[in-house]
Amino acid sequence: MSGDGGAEVTVPASLNVLRKDRDIQLLLVGGVEKIEQLLGNYSDVADRLEIQAASEIVEMDEPPALALKKKKDSSMRVAIDMVKAGRAQAAVSAGNTGALMATSRFVLKMIPGLDRPAICGELPTLSGHVRMLDLGANVDSGPDMLRQFAIMGSVLAAEVDDINEPSIGLLNIGAEDIKGSEVVKQASSLIAATGLNYKGYIEADDIYSGRVDVIVADGFSGNISLKTSEGVVKFIMGVMREEFSRNLITRFVALIALPIMKAAGKRMDPRRYNGASLLGLRGTVVKSHGGADVMAFEYAIIEAAKEAKMSVSERISAAIEQQMESVGENST
Amino acid sequence: MSGDGGAEVTVPASLNVLRKDRDIQLLLVGGVEKIEQLLGNYSDVADRLEIQAASEIVEMDEPPALALKKKKDSSMRVAIDMVKAGRAQAAVSAGNTGALMATSRFVLKMIPGLDRPAICGELPTLSGHVRMLDLGANVDSGPDMLRQFAIMGSVLAAEVDDINEPSIGLLNIGAEDIKGSEVVKQASSLIAATGLNYKGYIEADDIYSGRVDVIVADGFSGNISLKTSEGVVKFIMGVMREEFSRNLITRFVALIALPIMKAAGKRMDPRRYNGASLLGLRGTVVKSHGGADVMAFEYAIIEAAKEAKMSVSERISAAIEQQMESVGENST
């Protein structure tokens, strides 16, 4: 019940989801009075909605370690505790990313064989969408972590997007074998040896082309790529706005073109891709954009429900175990 | 006289530049017969145009080391030799980037105190443009190289864009001090100590906002950011094209909106930003996009002429020397 919009966003989004999908049950964690007030009359979905009290809130700019140590009754912590206790199958938060990562790791623990969680997001492409990880959970990722990301991303795309043997690309500068950093080159060999449907290097201008189903990147360049995209979109929209509002004629044309622009905008709407998965944990945690509105937060809840339903965490665990066994076999 | 379009692009572009700017003299390097044939009648600019024979061509996919070793009479090598000999003040090439870098370093040498060249490109912003480096000349850049990039970028923006004390941002993930890789954190301290107009970290969604004049990045993330931008633009254009060509009505609206779209497109046209500088060398070398057309290549020539005129290379050398002196003073 956090994020920039707070419960004013998350509570209406929760109600909308409950009314659209009869299979979903929600446990709202936060200030009971505030939640009840925002819920209004919810008798139609009352059988699938529960409220769990939490007295604290992790601030958006709070240092993660401090939040973890001091705020044991924050809505974030209580929600993740619910997942640990098996009372919830997934946690969704629009709050402080660092605190969500730290708390999730501390409470749920990592899947054995995995070093660190990765943030996996969904991005639009001309033909559908692509999953990309890591989008910034880690600043320095070694070759073996990139291999782990590839396995996690592959499982997610296979289960949630129902893709048989998802194709995987490794983000690099230049598609030729000679290019790229040492880390990326070593990671490429490791991923090639996993038996996944690995397509080799992918350059950043191919992210939105739909050439692969999953893109693996270190958290630094993944985040740079994601934020660059946001910046380019803002820039293009800014230029278009200026040009279309230049004079009376251009404003008139803008009115006529509006429905088409809206249709185009809908296909690129980041709200429809809201909800990034924290992969690698023993449990499902989905991070919503802090600035999410009601519609965007609904997508994050739905993403979490899908991941829980398809047992993504358990399947990642099984895939990692299988990889470790095959490495063991190869080395004997 | 290389690049994907070959002399068919570079020769007409050269003629156009000569006819537009009476201060520029050009030395075309390549196959004499081919160049003369493409020049046609150039008597109006003949006093400012010379042809220099070169019998070989570096292929776009040729390994840089091989090109450097084997092709001593390539148009690329001969052009850079002309700069070294003082017969030309700058070299422009649309050819193989790696070979251009390797040949430039070998022939011209680095400015003392600098480790490696950086590729510095110009990108559009809502309020004008920004210079960003490194865009991929280096895959692994340590903190001190990032400091060197900051100095080089600052000189370029000051001289060519005529900006007094250009503002500088360091590309990072997250604007808070606690975020970012170790390399970036150390680089930030080093740049802060240079006395440049350093504004601290900048996130990738701010690249196109025009918040700073120069953005410093390691070559890996700089290249990822640049290529991501290209991908996003292609994606948005693709979606717009699909939506505007959906039916007769949308096609009609597209016709009406065309002039506005064109005006917007012009402001974002990558051809107007063609011509990336190879900074750090004892001489001026500008890299044109391999796929440049005539108009784009003209911009690359003009960029090279500006840099030569403003003695960017010499001024970078002076700035580096000054930095070394002040470090020397501080340490005594």
CATH class of A119-273: alpha beta
Give the nearest chain A residue to B236 (CA atoms).
A268
**How does pLDDT run across B4-31, given as a tens digit for each residue?**
778 999 999 999 999 999 999 999 999 9
Contact B205 A231 (CB under 8 A): yes
Contact B63 A224 (CB under 8 A): no
Is residue B164 very low, low, confident or very high in pLDDT (cuts 50, 70, 90)? very high
| Superfamily of the domain at A1-114+280-332 | Isopropylmalate Dehydrogenase (3.40.718.10)
Interface probe, candidates B66, B96, B138, B173, chain A, greatest A C-beta count within 10 A: B173
**Residue spans per domain, chain B:** 1-114+280-308, 118-272
Res. A219: pLDDT tops 50: yes
- Choose among A83, A28, A24: nearest CA to A306: A24
Please name the helix (run of DSSP H) or strand (run of DSSP E) that holds residue A68, with its range, or none.
helix A64-70
Contact A205 B230 (CB under 8 A): yes
Give the nearest chain A residue to B184 (CA atoms).
A139
pLDDT score of A332: 47
Q: Residues 6 or more apart from B330 whose CB is under 8 A from it?
A: none
**How does pLDDT run across B91-140, given as a tens digit for each residue?**
999 998 889 999 999 999 999 999 899 999 999 998 889 999 999 888 88
Q: Which residues of A touch B242 (CB under 8 A)?
A: 126, 264
Q: Residues 6 or more apart from B204 whose CB is under 8 A from it?
A: A223, A224, A225, A226, A227, A228, A230, A231, B171, B173, B225
**The two domains B1-114+280-308 and B118-272 share their CATH topology (first three levels equal):** yes
pLDDT score of B332: 47
Q: Which residues of B touch A240 (CB under 8 A)?
A: 264
Q: How many CB pairs under 8 A join A and B?
A: 172
**How does pLDDT run across A63-80, given as a tens digit for each residue?**
888 888 888 899 999 999
- Chain A nearest CA to B155, separation (Å): 25
Res. A92: pLDDT tops 90: yes
Q: Which residues of B touch A252 (CB under 8 A)?
A: none
Read off the pTM.
Answer: 0.90
Distance of CA B213 to CAs A187, B140, B327, Å?
Answer: 35, 24, 25
Q: For residues B236 and A213, which has the higher predicted lDDT (pLDDT)?
A: A213
Give the nearest chain B residue to A218 (CA atoms).
B221
Res. B1: pLDDT tops 70: no
**How does pLDDT run across B192-234, given as a tens digit for each residue?**
999 999 999 999 999 999 999 999 999 999 999 999 999 998 8
**How does pLDDT run across A255-291, given as a tens digit for each residue?**
888 888 888 888 878 888 899 999 999 999 999 998 8
- Over chain A, what is the mean pLDDT? 90
Torsion of CA A13, A14, A18, A19, to 10 degrees: -30
- Over chain B, what is the mean pLDDT? 90
* Beta carbons of A104 and A281 less than 8 angstroms apart: yes
pLDDT score of A304: 96
Question: What is the full DSSP assignment across B276-314?
Answer: EEEETBSSEEEEPPTT--HHHHHHHHHHHHHHHHTTHHH
Is residue B330 very low, low, confident or very high in pLDDT (cuts 50, 70, 90)? low
Alpha carbon distance B158, A40 (integer Å) = 60
**How does pLDDT run across B250-285, given as a tens digit for each residue?**
888 888 888 888 888 888 788 888 999 999 999 999
Q: Residues 6 or more apart from A294 whose CB is under 8 A from it?
A: A9, A12, A13, A16
Contact B173 A219 (CB under 8 A): yes
Res. A191: pLDDT tops 50: yes
Is residue B2 very low, low, confident or very high in pLDDT (cuts 50, 70, 90)? low
**C-alpha B122: how far from chain center:** 7
**How does pLDDT run across B166-177, given as a tens digit for each residue?**
999 999 997 554
Most confident of A264-268, B56-60, B323-327: B56-60
- Chain A nearest CA to B175, separation (Å): 11
pLDDT score of A175: 52
Is residue B178 very low, low, confident or very high in pLDDT (cuts 50, 70, 90)? low
Specify the pairing of strand A118-125 against strand A26-30.
unpaired
Torsion of CA B240, A205, B178, A152, to 10 degrees: 100
pLDDT score of A328: 63
What tokens does A64 get?
């993660």
pLDDT score of B19: 95
Alpha carbon distance B190, A128 (integer Å) = 44
pLDDT score of A1: 56
**C-alpha B131: how far from chain center:** 9
pLDDT score of B101: 92
When the candidates are 1.10.3720.10, 3.40.718.10, 3.30.2350.10, 3.20.20.10, the CATH number that belongs to B118-272 is 3.40.718.10
Q: What is the mean pLDDT of residues A104-109?
A: 96
The verdict on domain B1-114+280-308 having CATH code 3.40.718.10 is yes
* Beta carbons of B201 and B174 less than 8 angstroms apart: yes
Q: What is the mean pLDDT of residues A8-30?
A: 95
Contact A225 B226 (CB under 8 A): no
Q: What is the mean pLDDT of residues B72-97?
A: 94
Res. A20: pLDDT tops 60: yes
